[in-house]
A and B are shown apart, each in its own frame.
Chain A
């Protein structure tokens, strides 16, 4: 199985500060289609997960452009240029290139 390692486990930031979350996979997520199925999702407290980014760097239409995703093969990063209160929660990376699909352990973003 592909192991997804997320760091840090938690982040404590003030409003307006930048954030960066790393996700590393135990094998390449580049699929035979030439696409890399690495997603980022956010789970706010008490809510179901919400979509943020798919295929490494593509933002869903409702996601603010302060979010960005980058990376390739086995190393990926989610960045928030300026944290806002609504960004609090747990962020997960999720690979869909290989079965079984696997998730990172999560990064909890809290307000300082």
Chain B
């Protein structure tokens, strides 16, 4: 069974950092691009970052570019999202996705 399990969320102060992880199982991880998508409370979906299957290229929207870094460890079948200089508007549930398969999400709350 294909599974994506996120972890690493929590409450963090504005300006601080947090690193999310997503462990994949049930498929050949290094064959797939991977993506992080977030959803602020009561709001719609927003694309956060994507990475190619080799990790050679990464893509971000302007809202997180320069603050967030997506990476992967294919040997560990794990996707990461390093989030720096966090802002209140980054408060959201963060989903790891292969596009057609989604994790259960992890909550990040940025507040003093």
Contact = CB atoms under 8 A, between A and B. Distances in A.
Interface in B20-69: 35, 44-47, 50, 59-62
B47 A101 contact: yes
B1 interface: no
Interface residues of A, number: 19
A66 interface: no
Given A99-B59, A100-B61, A51 B101 contact: yes
Interface in A16-58: 39, 48-51, 54
A94 interface: yes
B88 interface: no
Contact of A92 (B35, B44, B100, B101): B44
8 contacts: A48-B104, A48-B105, A49-B45, A51-B99, A94-B45, A100-B60, A103-B44, A103-B45
Query: Top 5 A-B pairs ranked by shortest CB distance?
Result: A100-B61, A101-B47, A51-B100, A103-B45, A48-B102
